[in-house]
Amino acid sequence: MRILTVCLGNICRSPAAEAAIRAAAAEAALDVEVDSAGTGRYHIGDGPNPRSISAGAAVGLEVTGTARQVTLEDFESFDLIVAMDHENLEDLRRMAPSEAARAKIHLFRDFDIDSAGEEVPDPYYGTEVDYRKMIEVILPAARGLIRHLEEAGA
């Protein structure tokens, strides 16, 4: 199972979600490959925002990676694509080359039964508190996504 997490710049939310999904999968002994990307080109080649790294580290997540932009190949090579917010969800749906590709795209927090339909807030212009809040909403969505995969027999 290959999962792609997507936000705008691929330096705050999507790398943190990637780390959270990877940790939840390891805890469940589920074999998944996780990557992240952005719909925008703003930060290509950059590492994660230091505040994302630090907020993740505070709860035991290793937030790593290099920012990249979503490609058409991603729609073929990933089994599940999760967007951090509605704007990126719609951008991904517009980019998707087929109905089959569109069917792979979901809002990340839909996997958290207590927060379905809600977005992972973008902390980019915020404070350390905003980054901690971002992690707080990512963790249950990551666990819910892994639970969903387990129930589906992945």
Q: Looking at 13, 51, 109, 143, which residue is catalytic?
A: 13
- Are the C-beta atoms of residues 134 and 12 closer than 8 Å to each other? yes
**Is 122 known to be catalytic?**
yes
* Active-site residue, 7 included: yes
Question: Which residue among the candidates 35, 110, 112, 122 is catalytic per the annotation?
Answer: 122
Q: Side by side, which strands form the sheet with 2-7? A: 33-38, 2-7, 80-83, 105-107
Alpha helices (runs of H) in 10-127, residue ranges in sequence order: 13-27, 50-57, 72-77, 86-95, 99-102
Helix (H) or strand (E) holding 80: strand 80-83
Of the candidates 35, 42, 34, the one whose C-alpha atom is nearest the C-alpha of residue 8 is 42
Which residues have a catalytic role annotated? Answer: 7, 13, 122
